[in-house]
Each structure stands twice: as C-alpha cells, then as structure tokens.
Chain A
Amino acid sequence: MDFSTFLIQVLNGFQYGFLLFLVASGLTLVFGIMGIINLAHGAFYMLGAYLTYWLIGYTGNLFLAILGGILIMAVLGYLIERLAISYLYDRDHLHQVLLTYGLILIIDDLQKILWGTDFYSVPVPEILAGGIQMTENQEYPIYRLFISVVCMILAAGLYVLINKTKLGMMIRAGASNREMSQALGIDISKIFAIVFSLGVTLAAFSGMIGSPISSVFPGMGSEILIVSFVVVVVGGIGSVKGAFVGAMIIGLADTFGTVLLPEFASVVVYAVMAIVLLWRPQGLFGQT
C-alpha cells in the first residue's frame, strides 16, 4: 500500500467512524442516562431513511425533508417514551429488551405497509454532488465529507448540551441519582422523555443524512445496530465522548481490517472490542 492509498484509507476509516458515531451517540445517551437498552435504535435509523425518501417526494429538497423528518421523529420519540417506555423504568432490563424488540417488529411491519419491500434511493443534493479527485482514478464524494463536517458539529453540540447547559446538568443529575434529583425539584419524567426523544431523533437523523450515500431498504437498521452497540461498549456505556472515540477506533479498525486482513474482515471489529474490554471492562470512558 503506497502512502497516498494509506491516507485515503485513513480518511475512509474516519469517515465511517463519523457515520457510526451519529448512530451510536443516541444509543449511548439513552442507555447511559436512562438505563434503557434500546434495541429499536436501528429501526428508528431505518425509519429516518424512509421518511427522507418519502418527504423528498413532496419537498424536492433533502434539507427540508430532513427538517420535517426531525420534527416527526422528535414527536414520535416523545410519544413512545410517554406511552410505553416510561412504564418500564422500575422493571429489569429483560422487560425493556422485550418492549424495544417489540417496537422493532412493529416498525418493520409499518415500514412494509407504508413503503413495501422495494429498494429506494435518495439523490445527493445538487450543491453537494460530485467528488474531489484524490488519485488519478479515484474521487472522494463531496457529500461524504459534508457528513463528516455535520457529524463534528453535532458532536460539539452534544458536548455543549450535556456539559454546559442547565438541561444537561439536570440530565446528568437524573442519571446519577433519580430520587435525589426529584427531591430537589427536577421533573425527571420530563427530562427522560426529552432524552429518549433526542436519542430517537439522533438515530433517525443519521438514517436521514446517510440516505443519499446508502440505499433505503428493509432491515437496513439491523446491521448498523450491532456495530453501534460495539462502539458504545468500546467507548464506555453512557459516555458521548467515549462513543466518539470508540466510533473512530472501530471505523479505522474496520477499514484497515478489511484491507490488510481480508480473511478476518468480519472479526476484526469484535477482536478490537474484546481487547478493549480485557484491558478496561467498563470501556474507554466508562464509569466503574
């Protein structure tokens, strides 16, 4: 592998990492703060992609479609938390897993009823179309670079939200001690509804912004869900910073694993996870 190819593969690794972070951030928020294992996270990702495909048919503009999709998903996430998840905070994880698994089945069938089982694609918007010439025969799609930028902005935004705002303070307080926060006058049920809605919206948003470079198809959420769990576990459950670092590590490991060790392409990611867990069972940035 010559140096320019190496650099391009590094770029590929980070770029994949950014995509993973988008999905994993919502997953780690919901798990870390609310203690809910949300198996339906991948299904919300898929729903985001389908919503974009659907809304773009009306708006003709990707950004308007994403904006509309965000509103729909934020409301949907809020309603699901109020009507279903909120009843399970005191139950053990098995019940939550069953509920969110049930949500997968419902969302999958809903998707089949609304959009059928055909494959769709979403066009890349005009202003972000095309690519940058990297080597004599390879271009890098501008839209992929755009996603990376969006992801960095989002990561910064989440950091500020959780660490610098009053809402973030209440979220952190609720996560570390629910009863005490309530005694101090914080409306925890409202905070949790907001966090869950945020998590759902983040999952859907990654499906939306990723839809032009991905194709939109049934079951697209299940593969990404597994890798996202790996990212969350490597980074440390509940840590957004951990999810970011974890996503970069997994993105790079996957890229170089597939190129350098093609025979083991499918296990490299899990081997990295196993090594990290042996060294730090709580994940890179997890609390013990």
Chain B
Amino acid sequence: MTKKVSDNSRRQFLGGVAATAGVAAASSFVPTKFAIAGKAPVKVGILLPYSGTYAMLGNSITNAMKMRLEQAGGMLGGRPIKYIGVDSEMSVPKAAPNTKKLIDKEKVDFLVGPVHSGIAAAMAKIVGKRKTPIMIVPNAGSNAVTGPLCAPNIFRCSFSNWQPAFPGGKLMADEGHKTAITISWKYGAGIQMMAAGTESFEANGGKVIKDIQVPFPKVEFQAFLSDIAALKPDAVFAFFSGGGAVKFVKDYAAAGLKENIPLYGPGFLTEGVSAAQGAAAEGIKTTLHYSADLDNAANQKFRTDYTKAYGKGPNVFSVQGFDTASLMLQAAAAVQGDMGATGDVITAMENAVFLDSPRGQWKMSKAHNPIQNIYLRQVQGGKQKLLGIAAEALEDPAKGCKLA
C-alpha cells in the first residue's frame, strides 16, 4: 500500500518539478497542498449538458454519481476527488475543444460524458487514440462508441442505441401489428434506434412503411402527425427525449391518434417526463434497461437515498450516473488510487461487478458496453409500471469493434 502511494505521488511529479520529490514523502520539498490533503486528488472531468433541452439529463447523472461517491466516503482509491465540470451545451462542434481542454489542460484521470451521441463520437475519436484518460459514457448510446470507435480506455455504463430499441420492434410484432411508421429526431440516437427497432420488427414479420426523420431539435410535429394519420399504419415507433418527448406524446394524443394507432418506443419516450405528459402518456408501452419499480433491494435503497438527497425521484439517467461512480470506485480501489497504472485500471473495469446497480446486476461486454436486461414497461397512473423482461442479458452486437 505505502509503496503504491509513493509511486503515485512520483507519477504526479514526473514531467514537472523535481524527480527527487518521490523519495521525500515527508520532507519539506513536498508542496504543502499534498502535505495537507495527504494525497493529490483524482481528477474527474465531466462533460455533460447543464443548459438547454437536455439539462435535466446532465443534472440527473451528476447528482447520482456524486451521491454514490459520497456514500463511498468521497474518495477514489484512498485519494480525494476533484471534479472539473464543463457544460457541453449539446454542441457537437464544441465537443472536440472541450475534450482536449479536459485532457491536455486539466489532465483528468477519468472523463465522464456525454449525453449526446454526436458528441460521444467526437470525444471517442480523441480519447481512443490515447492511452489516458479513461472515458466513461454515462448516457450517449452511439453504437459506434462501443463499435468501430471502441478502445481499451473507453467504457460505457448506459446502453448502446441498439439495445433499448431492438426488443421494441419484436414487441410490436408480438402484439399483432403488421405495419409501422418510425419517427425520431434526425441524429445519431434517433437514426440508430429506429434502425434497431425496424430490424427486429421486420425480422418478426412486420413492415415499416415510412421512416420519418425530424430535424433536431425541432418540436413542431403537426405536419408529421397528419402524415401518419393519412398513411394509417398499425403502430408508430418513436424516439424523442426530454422536452421533445413531452411535446410529441401530447401532440400525438391531441391529434386523436393514440386511440387508433398505438405508440411504442425506447423508454426515453416516457422516462422522467411522464408526469409532464399526463394523461397523454397513459398506456404507452416502452422498452428500457431500467424500470422505477424493479423489485430489488439495491433499487429501493437507491430510490430512497436519491429522493432524500435531491427532493425528487431518480430516473434512468441517474441510474447510469450511479453505475458510472461504481465503476470508478472499483477501478480506483483495484490500484489503490494509482491511476497511472492504466493497464490494471482497465482490467479492473472490464471485470467490474455491479452488485448494487438499481437496474439489476450487469457486467461489461468485451466491447465495454453493458450486458443487461431490457425491461418492458407501461405508463399506468403517471408511473412506469414494470410488465416484465423484454430481453434478458442483451448484448450489443458491437459491429466493427476490434476488442469484441
């Protein structure tokens, strides 16, 4: 233990002040900030949206992540934690400069982010070319991040876009629908989720008659709804999230379509927003890797703790933030805080176990994406009601990943 620690402080000084500092843990050469804190902090860079449509997602992730780290004593592998948060502003062009700033200027050990699939791809392109830092994706589902762009130092604690959508297509076919229209925002997440849903719907005998792509982040849906009404499909498969999900579900019901053409989709359609959607969301069936009423002790503890800390209930995004923290804790503990031992850190993360995950136990795939259950949920009385498991231990196909 002691050896590891002094090893660690030596690493901190390398490339800088004095190569001799490593030997003198208690000598006067050691700068006071290390002497006082005992050890240099582990730097956790966070690139998430804190403004705009997806601000709620960024806050939910951050809250749960910090809560989990606090529960573990606010330390990573025995070292204090320094957070360096940057608002991603949901801007893809700003993704590269923000990422480089966190890596080169702040020299973060962990890089947590983002929410948006486009930003995820931009970040992965930069991080994957280097040995450090360790990037953990707490939301963005871009298939590419654990596909063609996968890398030893990139992990994901959320989902691939393929995962929550794929069982949804089968669900529609199983419920007797022959034709469907898919509608989503035209960006990474929407396109990939609709493709996964279409794949399994058509494999099970359905036919997608039209794929409507709405420019992101447009929320004026009326023209598309008239289009759907005119084409009369058996069902509609939709991906929207946040404010767009609220408006789409409300507009869909207000246009009188809900009774005639049932609405399905990946769970983001109703997750964290069903209260705002009100009666318009009642009865909608979705598939997702979490459900609020999962009957396991970890979920109940998580929900109680989170509600106590933040005054409102958690959602799937906070679950992902919570598991992101679990992963960091396990990685740092395995090397006793010596984040420079990158190879050991990565091995620890690949073998991480998520016993206390609110979504139920899961593990990392070879491509560093969760192998997890996808649940079938239905909005009942404004709440996500768990109907069952739509796909058990579902693993992303990880097409194009060299690790898999």
Contact = CB atoms under 8 A, between A and B. Distances in A.
A154 interface: no
A56 to B, nearest CB: 13
A258 B257 contact: no
Interface stretch (A92-100, A131-139, A177-185, A240-248): A131-139
B260 A262 contact: no
B183 to A, nearest CB: 11
Contacts of A220: 53, 219, 243
Given A265-B215, A266-B215, A139 B242 contact: no
A216 B213 CA distance: 23
B56 A118 contact: yes
B83 interface: no
A1 B226 CA distance: 11
A139 B227 CA distance: 13
Contacts of B312: 118
B251 interface: yes
A168 interface: no
A119 B246 contact: yes
B220 interface: yes
Contacts of A258: 214, 223-224
B250 A117 contact: no
Contacts, number: 130
A16 B250 CA distance: 17
Q: Residue among A5, A12, A117, A133 with the most chain B CB within 10 A?
A: A117
A120 B250 contact: no
B184 to A, nearest CB: 12
B251 A213 contact: yes
Given A108-B51, A120-B276, A223-B218, A141 B247 contact: no
Interface in B247-262: 247, 250-251, 254-257, 260-261
Contacts of A141: 254-255
| B222, B232, B256: residue with the most chain A Cβ atoms closer than 10 Å | B222
A90 interface: no
B208 to A, nearest CB: 14
A257 B51 CA distance: 30
A126 interface: no
Contacts of B256: 131, 133, 137-139
A219 interface: yes
B88 interface: no
B246 A135 contact: no
B217 interface: yes
B242 A119 contact: yes
A218 B55 contact: yes
Contacts of A256: 223
B229 A138 contact: yes
B102 to A, nearest CB: 22
A148 interface: no
B246 A217 contact: yes
A123 B278 contact: yes
Interface in A203-227: 213-220, 222-223
Contacts of A222: 52
Contact of B226 (A8, A108, A123, A213): A8
B222 A255 contact: yes
Nearest to A217: B243
A121 B277 contact: yes
Contacts of B243: 119, 215, 217-220
B233 to A, nearest CB: 11
> Which one of A16, A137, A213, A214 has the greatest number of beta carbons of chain B within 10 Å?
A137
B247 A214 contact: yes
Contacts of B232: 137
Contact of A138 (B214, B257, B272, B276): B257
B212 interface: yes
B273 interface: yes
Contact of B229 (A117, A137, A215, A255): A137
12 contacts: A5-B230, A112-B51, A119-B243, A119-B246, A124-B254, A143-B254, A213-B251, A215-B247, A217-B242, A219-B52, A219-B55, A259-B224
Pick the 5 closest A-B CB pairs, nearest first: A139-B256, A217-B243, A219-B52, A215-B246, A266-B215
Interface of B: 50-53, 55-56, 58-59, 186, 212-215, 217-220, 222-227, 229-230, 232, 242-243, 246-247, 250-251, 254-257, 260-261, 272-273, 276-278, 312
